[in-house]
Chain A
Amino acid sequence: MHLMKTLAALTIGGVLSLSATAFAEDKIKIGVSYPTPTHAWAAGMNWHAENAAKRLEALYPDIDIILVNSPDPSAQASALEDLVSVNQIDALVVLPFESEPLTDPVLNVKKSGAFITVVDRGLSQPGIEDLYVAGNNPELGRVSAAYMKTRLKDGDNIVVLRGIPTVIDTERFDAFMAELEGSGINVLDHKHANWNRDDGFEVMQDFLSRFPDIDAVWAQDDDIAIGVVAALKQAGRDGDGMFVIGGAGMKETIKSIMDGDTLIPIDVLYPPAMLATAMDLTVANFKSNGPVAGRYILGATVITPENAEQFYFPDSPF
């Protein structure tokens, strides 16, 4: 009996001392908050973020990264409160669900003294974030149009398949049209295919029935492009120098570019790894001797057979 008590006391003491040393170590805690992935691009983002967390924690033993994803804006607001009160974070990396409802919660985190990094979707009030990391939607449209101009000539016809009607889609589309202006390339029509393979297939089928002469397709997104390619092959109109440009950087598309596919000759990157980039920069704020605060707009890199390997992650879900 006495022995048991001693053992118990020893165990409890041991646990207490262990946790005491853990607290004493004073780790730098970084909270990462983003929407629960519901589509392939976001799943890729999640995968890259998890990998970045493992890599950074292995590299710096005193860095502790807490990944939290939330299914809706109010859940994300609660998650931010928990990160402050429970985890007592020193820095926050946040990809807000929506700008408006999350501006105040992020501001509260900032009041706790944490370093704030905002990713992709800006807050509705300027000056809250120390660091801003985002993809470049207008550039994605512009780069795609610039490639079209190198392949097509005055009088050639293209059709455009757009995404879900949102600001992202409008920015991409407007920049695409602006770059194309004056080139003599006709945009026969543009319809929303909702970043979705099935819609891409059906809209393209209808474009093919409606327009006998199409020279190229801007699908804006790799999922839409897959539907477009299926429709082109069904109609037997995938030859004659026809090409389709998607966007985002899906692994299957990048693989086929590496293999020299001519139907989808290039892809334009909207990096699913941008959350990982933001985490790297946030850690650098604590570890680097150079300043990191500021705005980082990632390039809409053109992926070609030459550089495709660098963007190919076969284990990612996207």
Chain B
Amino acid sequence: MSDSAHDRGVQMKLPRFDIKTMGPAIALILLCIIGYALNPAFASEGNITNLLTRSAFIGIIAVGATFVITSGGIDLSVGSMAAVIAGVMIIIMNNVVDTFGAGVTTVLIGCGCSVILGLGAGWANGFLTTKGKIEAFIVTLGTMGIYRSLVTYFADGGTLSLDFSIRGTYRPVYYDSFFGLPIPVWVFIVVAIVGWILLNRTAFGRYCMAIGSNEAVARYSAINVDRIKTWTYVIQGLCVSLATIIYVPRLGSASSSTGVLWELEAIAAVIIGGTVLKGGYGRIGGTILGALILTTIGNILNFTDLISNYLNGTMQGLIIIVAVWLQRGDWGRARRAKT
């Protein structure tokens, strides 16, 4: 108690010491300044809205990934999981449209199935990791391949397309706005707030950090490690299904190229945000900034022709490394007394 009070006091007096936690925010602000300098249209309302909406997919998935990584796990299957859930959702909605019509019922059935699939796929990852005693990296590498080939199989190698009559009903979920913000952004905000409360204000969140710091100690402290870890994968699955629900109405299709590399983008967003890859410490706020940074980089690269298209990957790599370095570098920490 006294420790945290002390910390807060230091923060209030000397906010500049907080550069570690401010790292992602500083990186994002710098990026925005660069974007605006390159082209003032960067700051146009339309572009900002596009940016936020685009960030929603990776952002929502990354909130789930924050829990998994904080408790010392990793989930490589999220991109493939999103693709297969999108594919199955489309198949189900196309099949029930004759029975229930092209109305809200059909869309709700599709969304319901998405949530069930997400929870189930997440639970499978968690169960195999905890009860199966297989490393999370291997389990999710395996499920990544399984989900990816399943969506290719369902689509017969091609693309699954949502029935045109349903698109009219479902389309607003991606394209419509509510109080000036597109619906995907609202979903992102709600997921972020719930995630923040869950990680920072509940026993579950503290257990995640404890397990990530030292699983053995957590177990001796009477934490049900297997259950908590399984829950983190279930949360990840739920986040993937929410992201899929807002992804499908965008183009109304899913194929084997859907969600490729989303797992790495989500993990990158989490780490840029300040969560530690080996677990024990997680930050939802940072994760959200991380997702915004990743989307902004791509957006800025589309706004300029200064850099050869072939070097896009180089720029992204450099900015990611610098953004993490901003918070991991010593930054005069050596001067602080360590107790």
Contacts and interface: CB of A to CB of B under 8 A. Distances in A.
B312 interface: yes
Contacts of A121: none
A201 to B, nearest CB: 6
A158 B159 CA distance: 28
A286 to B, nearest CB: 30
B50 A317 contact: no
A201 B161 CA distance: 16
Contacts of A44: 158
A197 B251 contact: yes
A165 B310 contact: yes
A288 interface: no
B114 interface: no
B309 A165 contact: yes
- Identify the interface centre among B39, B256, B257, B309: most chain A CB within 10 Å of its CB: B257
A150 interface: no
A203 B157 contact: no
A16 to B, nearest CB: 39
A208 to B, nearest CB: 8
| SS class, residues of chain B in contact with chain A | helix
A209 B42 CA distance: 8
B251 A226 contact: yes
Nearest to B301: A191
B44 A209 contact: yes
Contacts of A227: 251
Contacts of B175: 234
A64 B175 CA distance: 53
A102 to B, nearest CB: 22
Interface in B181-215: none
Interface in B227-264: 250-251, 253, 255-258
Interface stretch (A32-40, A80-88, A90-98, A141-149): A32-40
Given A40-B157, A190-B309, A318-B158, A198 B251 contact: yes
A6 B217 CA distance: 75
A115 B152 CA distance: 33
B156 interface: yes
Nearest to A40: B158
A6 to B, nearest CB: 48
Nearest to B303: A210
Given A43-B157, A206-B303, A235-B46, A201 B251 contact: yes
Interface residues of A, number: 36
A44 B156 CA distance: 9
A317 B310 contact: no
Interface string B123-161: 000000000000000000000000000001001111101
A252 interface: yes
Contacts of A162: 309
A42 B157 CA distance: 8
B302 interface: yes
Contacts of B152: 38
A317 B157 contact: yes
A261 interface: no
B29 interface: no
Most chain A beta-carbon neighbours within 10 Å: one of B46, B251, B253, B258: B251
Interface string A82-125: 00000000000000000000000000000000000000000000
A27 interface: no
Contact of B298 (A202, A210, A223): A202
B158 A43 contact: yes
B298 to A, nearest CB: 7
A226 B157 CA distance: 18
A192 B156 CA distance: 26
A196 interface: yes
B145 to A, nearest CB: 11
Contacts of B54: 202, 205
Contacts of A218: none
B47 A209 contact: yes
B157 A206 contact: no
A207 B302 contact: yes
Given A197-B255, A226-B253, 12 more contacts: A38-B152, A39-B255, A165-B310, A189-B305, A191-B309, A202-B50, A206-B303, A210-B41, A210-B302, A226-B251, A234-B175, A317-B156
Interface of A: 37-40, 42-44, 46, 162, 165, 189-192, 196-198, 201-203, 205-210, 223, 226-227, 230, 234-235, 252, 316-318
Interface of B: 39, 41-42, 44, 46-47, 50, 54, 152, 155-159, 161, 175, 250-251, 253, 255-258, 298-299, 302-303, 305, 309-310, 312
28 contacts: A37-B157, A38-B152, A38-B157, A39-B157, A40-B158, A43-B155, A43-B156, A191-B309, A192-B312, A205-B50, A205-B54, A206-B47, A206-B299, A206-B302, A207-B302, A209-B42, A209-B44, A209-B50, A209-B303, A210-B39, A210-B302, A210-B303, A226-B251, A234-B175, A235-B46, A316-B158, A317-B155, A317-B158
